[in-house]
A and B are shown apart, each in its own frame.
Chain A
């Protein structure tokens, strides 16, 4: 089963070098183990834009977005046997944040891809 992990947080600070290194090692291990297919970190929301449809009208809104609280910071795509494996993997990833960036709070949401 293919899963997408989406990491959201209200923290805007960049990850500590220790966290970066630990995440890099974990990603490396997961790629070599054939489980991680893709991953990426996203630039701050302020540099992005949104294309919206409201009341049947299309509009473009440039960042920053005052109403945004939890912001997507990154994602990863995994191929795993099932949800339990996805949970185990996400827990390991979040534990790194706990260990290497004390005080950080956020969410790793895991979602299975639609389809087979």
Chain B
């Protein structure tokens, strides 16, 4: 085994054990950033020793013992040992002696602690980017270098982001506790937002880029599953999980051999992952059962579910999608949602109905430079036989499109419209 192989094997164990190590130490030290630091020391010790001694039979117990020892040392080194800390240290020593290996690894019901850790890493005091980095580091066990590669950013940027976030947490003197009542849902939305950010960062990546980018989707999905097992009564947690599962189910169908994006309606549905679709639909069903059918994530998941349920593009239930977009627009007013609704209405009720919605958006400042507005409009006009207006719209769209492939596609459509205009 090479050193690199040994390190990969150790990091694999680490990813399984780390959240439990942090929660265990955080419970003792009441300080998450410090707990995180000391568990990192346990990882370093493993990286130093295991390549020569081999991975121990119970690597989790080894890491736990090492990390707890560091925590004890830390408490002993404190110049002004508070009485409570002394007590805690004694408790820890006793616990450690009393605890058989497997109890340490399996019995420790960390549900509540884990949730607490997630809430801390995703605290609204921190920027979204800082929350994402901290969550990937503390809950997913990714190294700083891995996070940097996943976000296509320099190591130093991520390292600084993490250091600053931890300092903010330490300085703020935040209580390390699970929020309750009204605060819970507010804080939960901050967590969901971070998980969705991590997912989208990976989902936006084309295939063939560094493996860690798609990996972000998997980590986000895993966090989503952690959240529903920790907070099983929160409909939006199920809604987000459903949305992520349903979107991820199309991964294999989203790009062609050259890595170019394939539009949803043109995808080969045989490549959609039915196992994942079922999981997504189940999560969506649960969100609805918990009374969350009208939630921000659940509604988006319900829209994707309409596509997932359709065996062919032609079987898509567009009037239901149009209705869901209308509900979504009521939850979050956004001209982009309205534009999507126009597309669905156009499919369900014909191009004229879609066009009248699009025309109401023409003076929307937020869509001024958005190429999909004239592109959708051009499509409706073309279908209505207003080819010359369609040509103008497609050309305007091409001028606004950000990437080359879209520009080419829109110019082709403009040319088609021009041909149709002269021949009619």
B107 nearest CB across to chain A (Å): 7
Cα(A92)–Cα(B225), bound, Å: 21
B218 nearest CB across to chain A (Å): 6
Q: Mark contacts of B221-262 with chain A using CB atoms, 8 A cut-off: 1 yes-contact digit, 0 otherwise.
A: 111111001100000000000000000000110000000000
A88 touches B16 (CB 8 A): yes
B251 touches A116 (CB 8 A): yes
Cβ of A95: which chain B residues have Cβ within 8 Å of it?
57-58
Cα(A61)–Cα(B102), bound, Å: 43
Cβ of A99: which chain B residues have Cβ within 8 Å of it?
102
A26 at interface (Cβ–Cβ under 8 A)? yes
User: Which of B5-13, B24-32, B68-76, B410-418 is near enough to bind chain A?
Assistant: B5-13
Cα(A1)–Cα(B279), bound, Å: 16
A88 touches B229 (CB 8 A): no
A42 at interface (Cβ–Cβ under 8 A)? no
A5 nearest CB across to chain B (Å): 14
Given A32-B229, A95-B57, A99-B102, A88:B13 Cβ within 8 A: yes
A71 nearest CB across to chain B (Å): 25
A25 touches B107 (CB 8 A): yes
- How many A-B residue contacts, CB cutoff 8 Å? 67
- Nearest neighbor of B230 in chain A, beta-carbon distance: A32
Number of B positions contacting A (CB below 8 A): 36
A79 touches B60 (CB 8 A): no
Classify the interface of chain A: helix, strand, loop or mixed: helix
Cα(A81)–Cα(B211), bound, Å: 10
B106 touches A26 (CB 8 A): yes
A84 at interface (Cβ–Cβ under 8 A)? yes
Cα(A64)–Cα(B252), bound, Å: 41
Cβ of B218: which chain A residues have Cβ within 8 Å of it?
1, 79, 81
Cβ of A31: which chain B residues have Cβ within 8 Å of it?
229
B215 at interface (Cβ–Cβ under 8 A)? yes
User: Which of A33-41, A48-56, A103-111 is near enough to bind chain B?
Assistant: A33-41
A34-B222, A79-B222, A99-B102 known, 17 other contacts, Cβ within 8 Å = A22-B102, A22-B106, A32-B229, A33-B19, A33-B222, A33-B226, A35-B16, A35-B222, A37-B279, A79-B221, A81-B219, A84-B9, A84-B12, A88-B13, A92-B16, A92-B105, A116-B252
Interface residues of A (CB under 8 A from B): 1, 22, 25-26, 29, 31-35, 37, 79, 81-82, 84-85, 87-89, 92, 95-96, 99, 115-116
